[in-house]
Amino acid sequence: MKLSLYQVDAFTSTLFKGNPAAVVPLEKWIDDELMQKLAMENNLAETVFFVPSQKEGTDYDIRWFTPEIEINLCGHATLASAFVLYTQLNYSKPSITFSSKSGLLKVEKNGSNYEMDFPSWKPERISDYPDGMAEILGVKEILGAYRYRDLLIEVATEEELVNAKPDFTALKKTGEMVILTAKGDTVDFVSRFFAPSAGIDEDPVTGSAHSQLIPFWSEKLDKKKMNAKQLSRRGGDLICEQKSAERVMMGGECVFYMKGEFDIDN
């Protein structure tokens, strides 16, 4: 069995920045175990698979795998999938609707940007989170802890966020996926994302985290439209909007890196 593979840097206009995703278009689903093995072999934050959808009002069904697990939502790999469809696979409709484990996800091409309509996951303040989290994350002080899917930790400044040095072994033992965030110096907000329990110590740019960050900062800053940066080593830029209580928009650019082929006996 031969399968095509595209590697794309998402949420960036510069090669070797943003978040690399492996994109594997399929004609029909292959075994879950094989998809997980391919994701492990690729060893990127996410490998995304999609197939033509049989559902009314939907173009493709989509799934995402880290090297360790399947996840229920991934922004950068969805962005990369839309980019591959438009630039490599001759897709020509004004928008693409993906069906996923997190519902319908619509992507529109707007010039060089790809704008994704995603669920709004507003995190709520909590007091019950793992002991010693400030020390585990390597930050001075936690201003607040919040949760939706992930544990969102707010710190005081962008500088503190940049200088954070997590203990990934200790963080993995907690089982938490952590969004670290602060008000930005030159943009509205900044973040980093750590998920060693999912096989990713630090993710370069995380769309699903922004499903939680956008409603958090929209309320905090009293703004609907915002600009954000994820301050990983590779870095990424996002345009963001709180569209309603149920939906957010996040978008950015993509850069093509390579095309390859799997040759698998199955």
- Catalytic residue numbers read 46
| CA 157-114-78 angle, 5° bins | 85
Question: Count H helices, E strands: the chain?
Answer: 6, 18
Rounded Cα distance between 136 and 25, Å, is 39
In this structure, the number of other CB atoms found within 10 A of the CB of residue 161 comes to 23
Q: State whether residue 155 is helix, strand or coil.
A: coil
Strands of 66-173, DSSP E: 70-71, 95-100, 103-110, 113-119, 124-126, 144-147, 151-154
User: Quick one: how far is CA 203 from the chain centroid?
Assistant: 8
DSSP summary character for residue 14 = S
* Angstrom distances, CA of residue 174 to CA of 118, 146, 197: 28, 16, 8
Identify whether the C-beta of residue 136 lies closer than 8 Å to the C-beta of residue 166.
yes
Q: State whether residue 174 is helix, strand or coil.
A: helix
Identify whether the C-beta of residue 248 lies closer than 8 Å to the C-beta of residue 120.
yes
